[in-house]
Structure 1
C-alpha cells in the first residue's frame, strides 16, 4: 500500500486538531482556545488504496521560532519534509491567517489550503471566491467545516488521493518546492531585496543549512532576526556548540542581541559578511524610515496578501448584528469589574449544579458498592482472601469510583466552557492579575488544563507551558501548575467536603479553587523574585468567536475524560490499593498479642448476661483487634513513625499512609482511607459511605479535613507529573526540587492552619 505523509499546520485555534480527529478518527483534546496542541500528534487513515500518515503540528503564527511549539512545527516541516502541508486557515480571519500560508510558500513547501470555518465566515457576511484565491496564490484551496466532519472534508480527502482535478495524488508530488507551488518570491523594497540577494549568495556559497531550507528563506530568517538561525550561524562560524561566544564583547550589537567582540572568533568570513550586511541595512532603515528589516518584511507580506484579497477574492455583506455579537458579549463578559464577578458566578454555578445534580447517582453507587461488599461477605469464608476483596478492592477502588458521577458532571460543564470560547476570555481577564505576580497571560491556559477550574491534569498543563516564549515565565509556570486541582485531587476534596461540610459543598469547592490559584500565584511571585528573576513579557492573545458547543463534541469530551478516570481507577489505583492492603495487613499480630485477644473473646462469651450484650462486646473487641493489626502492619509502623511530626498538622498514622500512597496518584488517598476504615469495620451488613465513616472516626474533625485538603492541594505532584516536569524543564533537579519544595510548603501551611484553628477553639 502506498504511504504518504500529510502535515496539518496553521494558526492556534484554527481547527487543526478538529480536522485531525475528522480524518483519523482520533480523539485528541479539542477546545475553543489557543494552545491545545503543544506537540505533534500522529494518526493514519486509508483512502483509495493509499495509506496516509497525518501529523497534527502545534499551532503557530509564524515560522520564526519564538517558542517551543513553533520550533516543533518548523523543525518537523524542514527535516521530515512531508509530502503535503495542509494549512488550515480560518476563513473568517483570512488576512491574518494567510500570513503563515505565505511563509509556507516562501519555504517551498507543497501546500494545500483548507479554508476552515466557512460557516462562521458566512454568518459574518463574508463571501470568498475559492477559485480566484487558489489561482492567485498558486496553491489548491478547499473550503471545509471541520467541526462537523462533513462539509468539504470529503473534497479535501479527494484532493489527497488525486480524485479531485485541483491536485495530483500526494504520492506523485515532489518533496520540497513543487511544480504547483513554486518558491514564492515577494519584493520587500529595493533596500531589503538587495541585502536579501547578497545574503542568499553567501548562504549558497557556504552551503549553510541548504540541505534543510531554501537559501532565500534562510536569508529572510537572517533579516527577521531569527534566534535559531542566528545561533546556528554563530556555531557554524565559530566552530563551537556552546551558543554565542560574543556575550562579553565591547564593540557593537549583533542581531541576536549580544555585542560583537573584536577577535579572530568574530572574523570568520561567513558570519562577518552577513553581519556587516545586516548592520548596514538596519542602520539605513532606522535613519530613513525609523523601522527595522523584520518590520519591513512583515509589512510587505501583509501588503502582498491585501493585494490578492482586493482582487475580488473577498466580498462582505455587512450585517452589524452578526458581525458584532461576540464583541457585544465581550463588552459584558470581559468588563474590568463585571467580568471577574461573572466569572466567579459561573464557576460557583458549575460546582452548585455538579453537587446537586450528581447527588442521586452518587448515592446509587454507594449503595451498589455497599451491596457488593455485603454479598462478598456472605459468600466468602473469613480469611485473607475475603479481606483482600472487600477491603483492598471493593472499598479501596469503590471509594474512588463512587465519585464518577461528580467527575462526569464536572467534565460536562468544563467541556461547554471550552467549546463555547469562554475559557479564552478567562485567560484574557486573568492576564492583568497574572502580571502582578510575574506571570504571563499565556500561563492561564496551562493552569486551567491542570485543573484551574477543576478536573484537569497536570501533565497536559505542564506541556502547555511550551506556548510561553520567555524561559523565566515558562519555568515559573511549570513549577506552579501542579498546585491546581487536577481530577485526581477532586475525589479527596469531595470526600472531605461530603463528610464535614455537606451543607455548604458548592461554597467549599469554590474556596478550594480560589485557594489553589492564590497559593500558586504567591509561590510564582516568590520564584520570580528569587530563582527565576527577569522582566515580564507583553501578552497578546486572539479571542476566538463565541460558538454554540455541539452536543456530540461535549459528550465525546465528557465520556473520554470520565473513561480515563475510570480506567485509571481500574488499573493503577487497583494495583496500588492491593499493594497498600497487603502493607496494612501483614505481618499480622505477634502470637502473644493474638492470644491476648482470643483470651478476651473467651472471657466475654463466658461472662455476657444476654445476646445483645454479647454481640456489642464482641463487635467492640473485633474493632480493637482490627485496629491493632493495622497499627502493627508495615504501613502502620511507617505511619506511626511519621506521626510525631505529622500530628502538628492534625494527621494521624492512617492519614500518613494515605498521603505516602498519594505520591503515586492522588486518588490513592481516597482508596487508602477506604481500605483503612474498612479494615477497622466488622459489620458488613450495614454498609456506610466512606464520608460517613470518616465523620464518625475518632480524631477526625472539620479542622482536620481543612488541613488535609490544604496539604493535598499543594504537596508533591504525582510521579507521572514529576517525570513530565523534569523532561520539560530539561533536568531532573527541577523534578526533585518540586517534590521537596511543594511538600515542605504544603506541610507548613497545614501546620499553620491546624495549630491556629486549634488555638482558636475550632
Structure 2
C-alpha cells in the first residue's frame, strides 16, 4: 500500500523552541532552501514510517500573521498559498497568553492545527500549573505537552498530526471570534458579500478570515484582492473606511487595534476557570536579575566587549591549529601536483589557479566553524538579543536598527569575521531599507581576508605597532560603516526608522545537539557558496594573469643580452610575463589614474585580484614582486624576502600605505559577497553598492594621499 503524504507547517513565535522541535522531528533529513522570491531560509525535513511520509516545513518565527515583517509575510504565504495539510503551532508554555495569539490566528484560517506546548519543565520550575485537559476542551484541539530539547512529547506530536489528518477532529475548523458591536456587523456584511461573490475562492480561505484581514488593513491580501476583482475589493475597503471613521469618532481607536484587543480578550476567557494558575509569590526571575548587570548602561558595554574579545580570541587561538593543518594539506596537495604534472600550463592552473585559490578561502573554515559555534551558543543562550538591545540607541542615530549589530560583528566588526555570513545575518532586519543599508555597509568591516593583508603589511611597514594599527583599522571600519549608513538613510534609502521592539528571552542553557545543528547548517552554506565561487574565480584570475604569454623570442633575446644571474633572469621573465598579460596590461592602463592615490600597476593588479577574494591580494602582489626584483640572489625565506622587496620599493611610502589601507577597507566587496548581496536583495543593489563603494574608497584614498604627501 502506498504511503500517505502529509505536509505540515511548523509555526511559532520566536524563542518558543520551534526549530528545536523541527530538528527533533526531522533529524538529518532537514535541508535548507529559499522561499520563492525572498531570502529567508526555508527548512524542510521528513519523518516517515510504513504508512505515512510527513514533510515538515519550518516557518520563520513570527508573533502574528499580519503582513508587516518579512517573517510574517513568509509564514502567511506558505499557509495561504501552499495550504499544508496540518499546522503544528509551538507555544512557549511560560508565556501562554502571548503565545496563543498566533495560535488563534492560525485556527481562524481553517487548516487543522496541532498545538505543542513547549518548555513544560520551566513551567513547573516557576510554580505555574496548567490544566492541559481543560485547555483541550475549550480549544477543541490536540495539545501536546513538550520538553523539546529533551525529546519529550515528540512521538505524541507525530500521533496527533496523523490523527487530525485522518479527520478525527473537525470542530476547531469553525472558529468565529466576536470582535464587538462596532466591528461584527460590518464583518458579517463583508462575509456575506465574499461568499456570494466567491471572492478569492481559488485561495480556499474562509470568507470570515478574508473579511477580518480587510478590516485589519492587510496590504498583502488587499493587493491580491485588487488583482482578482478591483471593483469588489474597493467596495470592501469602503465598508472598512466607514468602520474606521466610526471607531475613530466614538472610541478614539482603529479597527486593527480593536481586533487585537478582542483576540486577547478571547484568549483570557479561555485561560480562566483554572486553566492556568500561578503561585501568589513568584520566585525572583533569574534572567531579570542577570539583565540588571548585563544590560547596565556602564557595565553592559564593558561585558559585551569582553565577551566579543573572548569569542574572537578563542576563534583565532583554537582555530589556528586546524587552520594550519588545512593550509599544510593544501600545500602538500600543491607539491604533489607540482611533481606529478609535467605540463607547465596545466601545473600552473592546478597549483596556482585552483589549489592556492580555493585553499586560501577554505583554510578559514575552521575559524568560521568555531566562531559560529560560539555565536550559536550565545544566541541560544539569549545573550545576543541583549547586545542588539544595548547598541540600538547608537545605531538609531545613524539610521540603523539594533538588529544591525550582529551582521556587523559577523562580517568582521572584530577582525576575523566574514562578509558573506555577515550579509546573510541581516535577514533578521524587518525593514527592507534598514536591511539594505546594513547589507551594503557590513562589508566595510575587517574580515578575515582583510586581516591577513593588514597583518602582513603592518608587520612590514609598522613593525612594533601592529596592534595599534589593527585597532585603528577596526575603529575606522565601524566609523565609515555608520557614516555611510547615515548617508544612505538620508538619501536613497530615506525613511522613518523602525521601532526596535524586541523580546528579551529568558536565559536558557543551549543543547549540544542544537548548537551542532545550527553551526553545521551555517558552515556548510559558507563552504558551499564560498568554495564554488572561489573555484571559478581562481581559474579566471589565473587565465588573466597568464595570457597572452610573452613570445619566446623576446625572452631569449633578453636572456642572451643579460649578464646577471640565472635567478635574476627568471625574475625578469616572470615580471615581464605578468606585465604582458591581460591583468598586467589593465593594471598599467589604470596607473595614470591610480597614481593620484599612490598605487602603481603592480598594486592595481593585486587590487583586481582582491575583488575576487581579498586573500588573493597578497598572493597576486607576491607574484608581481616574485623572484626578488631588488635582491634576486637572496637566500632569505620567501616571506622575509617579500617584505624586503616591498621595503626596497620606493613607491611604498607612508602616504601610499595609508591610502591603500583605507582603499582595501572600503573598496568593492569580494565577488562571493557581491553574489550574496544580490541574493539577499537584487542585482541592482549589488552593482550599485559595489560601484558606489569603489568610487567612495578611491575618492577618499586620493584625498588622504594628496594631503599626506605634503608632509612626507
The TM-score with structure 2 as length reference comes to 0.86
Q: CA deviation at 1:692?
A: 7.4
Query: For the structure 1 residues 471 and 377, does the alpha-carbon distance in structure 2 shift closer, same or farther, using more than 3 Å as the test?
Result: closer
Which residue of the other structure, out of 573, 577, 581, is the alignment partner of 1:633?
581
Hey, what's the Cα distance between the residues in 2 that align with 1:687 and 1:132? Answer: 81
Q: Which moved more, 1:102-111 or 1:186-195?
A: 186-195
Which residue of the other structure, out of 256, 266, 282, is the alignment partner of 2:244?
282
Query: For the structure 1 residues 214 and 686, does the alpha-carbon distance in structure 2 shift closer, same or farther, using more than 3 Å as the test?
Result: farther
Contact 2:583-2:605 within 8 A present in 1 as well: yes
1:548 is matched with which residue? 509
Structure 2: which 5+ residue stretches go unaligned? none
Structure 1: which 5+ residue stretches go unaligned? 31-35, 240-267, 605-616
Q: CA deviation at 1:277?
A: 3.8
Hey, what's the Cα distance between the residues in 2 that align with 1:236 and 1:81? Answer: 19
Which residue of the other structure, out of 87, 91, 104, is the alignment partner of 1:85?
87
Describe the SS at the equivalent of 1:115.
strand
Query: For the structure 1 residues 401 and 39, does the alpha-carbon distance in structure 2 shift closer, same or farther, using more than 3 Å as the test?
Result: closer
Q: CA deviation at 1:526?
A: 1.0
Report matched runs for 1:639-654 at 5 Å. Answer: 639-654=587-602
1:294 is matched with which residue? 256
Hey, what's the Cα distance between the residues in 1 that align with 2:371 and 2:707? Answer: 33
**Residue 700 of structure 2 corresponds to residue 749 of structure 1:** yes
1:159 is matched with which residue? 160
Count of residues in correspondence between the two structures:
700
2:25 is matched with which residue? 23
Describe the SS at the equivalent of 1:7.
strand
Provide Cα deviations, 1:392-423, integer angstroms capped at 9, x if missing partner: 34544444455455444433433333232222
**Residue 194 of structure 2 corresponds to residue 193 of structure 1:** no
1:311 is matched with which residue? 273
Q: CA deviation at 1:214?
A: 0.9
Query: For the structure 1 residues 415 and 624, does the alpha-carbon distance in structure 2 shift closer, same or farther, using more than 3 Å as the test?
Result: farther
Query: For the structure 1 residues 677 and 586, does the alpha-carbon distance in structure 2 shift closer, same or farther, using more than 3 Å as the test?
Result: same
Which residue of the other structure, out of 650, 667, 671, is the alignment partner of 1:715?
667
1:693 is matched with which residue? 642
Q: CA deviation at 1:48?
A: 3.4
Hey, what's the Cα distance between the residues in 1 that align with 2:330 and 2:40? Answer: 40
Q: CA deviation at 1:327?
A: 1.3
Greater RCO structure (CA 8 Å; 6+ sep): 1
Provide Cα deviations, 1:80-118, integer angstroms capped at 9, x if missing partner: 110001112122221111100001111212111122233
Query: For the structure 1 residues 78 and 270, does the alpha-carbon distance in structure 2 shift closer, same or farther, using more than 3 Å as the test?
Result: closer
2:118 is matched with which residue? 116
Which residue of the other structure, out of 280, 297, 301, is the alignment partner of 1:336?
297
Contact 1:21-1:28 within 8 A present in 2 as well: no
Query: For the structure 1 residues 592 and 275, does the alpha-carbon distance in structure 2 shift closer, same or farther, using more than 3 Å as the test?
Result: closer
Query: For the structure 1 residues 626 and 665, does the alpha-carbon distance in structure 2 shift closer, same or farther, using more than 3 Å as the test?
Result: closer
Hey, what's the Cα distance between the residues in 2 that align with 1:181 and 1:718? Answer: 53
Report matched runs for 1:221-236 at 5 Å. Answer: 221-233=213-225
Query: For the structure 1 residues 669 and 5, does the alpha-carbon distance in structure 2 shift closer, same or farther, using more than 3 Å as the test?
Result: farther
Q: CA deviation at 1:510?
A: 5.3
Hey, what's the Cα distance between the residues in 1 that align with 2:510 and 2:258? Answer: 41
1:271 is matched with which residue? 234
Contact 2:60-2:71 within 8 A present in 1 as well: yes
Query: For the structure 1 residues 388 and 455, does the alpha-carbon distance in structure 2 shift closer, same or farther, using more than 3 Å as the test?
Result: same
Q: CA deviation at 1:514?
A: 3.7
Hey, what's the Cα distance between the residues in 2 that align with 1:95 and 1:714? Answer: 48
Hey, what's the Cα distance between the residues in 1 that align with 2:140 and 2:657? Answer: 66
Which residue of the other structure, out of 201, 212, 217, is the alignment partner of 2:209?
217
Aligned-residue RMSD, C-alpha: 3.9
Provide Cα deviations, 1:595-630, integer angstroms capped at 9, x if missing partner: 2343256x45xxxxxxxxxxxx33333223322222
Which residue of the other structure, out of 40, 43, 46, is the alignment partner of 1:44?
46
Report matched runs for 1:333-732 at 5 Å. Answer: 333-359=294-320, 383-448=344-409, 450=411, 452=413, 468-485=429-446, 491-493=452-454, 496=457, 511-558=472-519, 561-562=522-523, 571-599=532-560, 603=563, 617-669=565-617, 672-673=620-621, 693-694=642-643, 696-697=645-646, 698-699=648-649, 707-719=659-671, 721-722=673-674, 725-726=677-678, 729=681, 732=683
Which residue of the other structure, out of 200, 205, 209, is the alignment partner of 2:196?
205
Q: CA deviation at 1:709?
A: 4.6
The TM-score with structure 1 as length reference comes to 0.80
Hey, what's the Cα distance between the residues in 2 that align with 1:724 and 1:363? Answer: 28
Q: Which moved more, 1:473-482 or 1:539-548?
A: 473-482
Hey, what's the Cα distance between the residues in 1 that align with 2:638 and 2:96? Answer: 57
Describe the SS at the equivalent of 1:64.
coil
Describe the SS at the equivalent of 1:40.
strand
Hey, what's the Cα distance between the residues in 1 that align with 2:345 and 2:58? Answer: 51
Query: For the structure 1 residues 231 and 269, does the alpha-carbon distance in structure 2 shift closer, same or farther, using more than 3 Å as the test?
Result: closer
Q: CA deviation at 1:68?
A: 2.8
Describe the SS at the equivalent of 1:190.
coil
Q: Which moved more, 1:550-559 or 1:685-694?
A: 685-694
Which residue of the other structure, out of 92, 96, 99, is the alignment partner of 1:97?
99
Hey, what's the Cα distance between the residues in 2 that align with 1:686 and 1:127? Answer: 78
Hey, what's the Cα distance between the residues in 2 that align with 1:422 and 1:638? Answer: 49
Provide Cα deviations, 1:106-133, integer angstroms capped at 9, x if missing partner: 1212111122233443443334333332
Contact 1:465-1:474 within 8 A present in 2 as well: yes
Hey, what's the Cα distance between the residues in 2 that align with 1:37 and 1:542? Answer: 23
Hey, what's the Cα distance between the residues in 2 that align with 1:519 and 1:331? Answer: 32
Hey, what's the Cα distance between the residues in 2 that align with 1:620 and 1:369? Answer: 29
Query: For the structure 1 residues 371 and 679, does the alpha-carbon distance in structure 2 shift closer, same or farther, using more than 3 Å as the test?
Result: farther
Hey, what's the Cα distance between the residues in 1 that align with 2:708 and 2:470? Answer: 20
Describe the SS at the equivalent of 1:61.
coil
Provide Cα deviations, 1:486-524, integer angstroms capped at 9, x if missing partner: 566555456556666686766655554443332222112
Hey, what's the Cα distance between the residues in 1 that align with 2:679 and 2:358? Answer: 31
Describe the SS at the equivalent of 1:182.
helix
Query: For the structure 1 residues 710 and 353, does the alpha-carbon distance in structure 2 shift closer, same or farther, using more than 3 Å as the test?
Result: farther
Which residue of the other structure, out of 127, 131, 135, is the alignment partner of 1:129?
131
Contact 1:67-1:467 within 8 A present in 2 as well: no
Provide Cα deviations, 1:529-575, integer angstroms capped at 9, x if missing partner: 22232332322111122223334444555555555555566543344
